[in-house]
Chain A
Amino acid sequence: MEIDRQLLKGTIPLLVLRLLDRGELYGYQLIKSLDELSAGAFRFSEGSLYPVLHSLERDGLLSAHWQSGESGRKRKYYTITGRGRAELAARLRQWRTFAAAIETVLAEEPPDA
């Protein structure tokens, strides 16, 4: 099932921070990981991912460095910072509250007409 892009867009920073909390990755690896972990539900275009990565880097939540990969090509790797981890914890709490509230509302039986 295809997920609405606008719905997905707001969750990209949380997902990116969560993945980078496990280790450094470059953009293409991030997109592949998200695709695999979500069994194909989260398919981001580079146009939606890279601006988010750059915003998070600008805000000090990620740091980045260029490094030669196995193929010899230079790639930009992203790493989560201490501030990024604190932000991730806050966003996770927020998301759990949000998801629980949505579930509660959706589970509510509609009143009889």
Chain B
Amino acid sequence: MPDRTTRRRWPYPLAAALGCSGFGVIAELVNNTRWADLFHFPTPVLLAPPAGLALIGVVLGVRRGWDHRTAWLTCAAALAGTLAGSVLHDLSTGGGALYPMAIPLLVIGYCGPVFLGLLIGARATRAELPSAPPDQPAEFLAHARAATATIADPKERAEAVAELLDHANSRYHEALAAGAAQSAAVAATLAELGDPAEAADDFGRAHRQPITGATIAILAGVVACFVALLASGLSVLLNSEVTAFGLLGSMVALIGLGGFGVFWLRRSR
């Protein structure tokens, strides 16, 4: 059974969005029952979304290492899911169940657990660098370690070292099979492996997570979320709920349109 290393990233934001919107829907369903108090502040049930997000963060960290891009997407999806659940609630009750000033706290309460979980998961899978096989010269391991020194994620680095060692081993045994002496085979293999410092630069670039348009859009969306919600909170304080929910609606539309725009731009690139 092959061990798949390229893992999908969409399940994490999807799980966050479904979990958080589902939580809102359940809160709505039990609204007029004896369970309604469970969903009113302060109760332990309200810790379920951050706990679930922390769990998603741990799984993400274990499976993909320090993948902050997917973590940001997961935070944004969790917020979008919560807002969707809240809007549903507001439409059915005709009022504002989600107090606008609480949303900035939600941003912290959601992003914090996701990144904490990510940190725990990524650290838990710290992989030891592989050792050289007994039939392989130690120079190859030293070369592979030097060439991969710029890969920050320990798991990815361990995999890269294993891959380079396998390559060196194939080349070395090929040279031996062609009749080369052991020292000549080692020298030929090292010459073919190239300059480890140059490879380290290239590996560093290949494993760096670039700040993409999507990341900038998400961060801009989170900032817009803060600004809009602070403004709507102020308008609530000034007894203008119509303005408050207008701002909330605009914000949801803005995030939705922004997400669609980023998706469209990435597809058409």
Contacts and interface: CB of A to CB of B under 8 A. Distances in A.
Contacts of A65: 2-6
A50 B3 contact: no
Dominant secondary structure of chain B at its interface with chain A: helix
Interface in B160-195: 160, 162-164, 166-171, 192-195
Interface stretch (B112-120, B198-206, B234-242): B198-206
Nearest to A81: B6
A47 interface: yes
A52 B194 CA distance: 15
Which residue of B2, B4, B164, B193 has the most chain A CB atoms within 10 A of its CB atom?
B2
B196 interface: yes
Given A63-B6, A66-B3, A46 B203 contact: no
A62 B166 contact: no
Given A63-B4, A64-B6, A58 B167 contact: no
Given A27-B163, A28-B167, A66-B5, A46 B192 contact: yes
A57 B147 CA distance: 19
A63 B4 CA distance: 8
A40 to B, nearest CB: 13
Which residue of A26, A27, A28, A67 has the most chain B CB atoms within 10 A of its CB atom?
A28
A18 interface: no
B207 interface: yes
A50 B207 CA distance: 11
A46 B194 contact: yes
A4 to B, nearest CB: 15
Contacts of B193: 45-47
A62 B167 CA distance: 19
B3 to A, nearest CB: 4
A76 B192 contact: no
A19 B76 CA distance: 38
A48 B206 CA distance: 11
B202 A48 contact: yes
B90 interface: no
B167 A46 contact: yes
A51 B4 contact: no
A54 B203 CA distance: 8
Contacts of A57: 5-6
B194 A45 contact: yes
Contacts of B3: 65-67, 74
B134 to A, nearest CB: 13
Given A57-B5, A74-B3, A75-B163, 16 more contacts: A27-B166, A45-B199, A46-B194, A46-B199, A47-B147, A47-B193, A47-B194, A48-B202, A50-B160, A50-B163, A51-B203, A54-B203, A58-B209, A65-B6, A66-B2, A75-B166
19 contacts: A27-B163, A27-B166, A28-B170, A45-B193, A46-B192, A47-B194, A47-B199, A50-B167, A50-B199, A51-B199, A51-B205, A55-B205, A57-B6, A62-B6, A65-B3, A73-B166, A73-B169, A74-B166, A77-B2
Interface of A: 26-28, 31, 45-48, 50-52, 54-55, 57-58, 62-67, 73-77
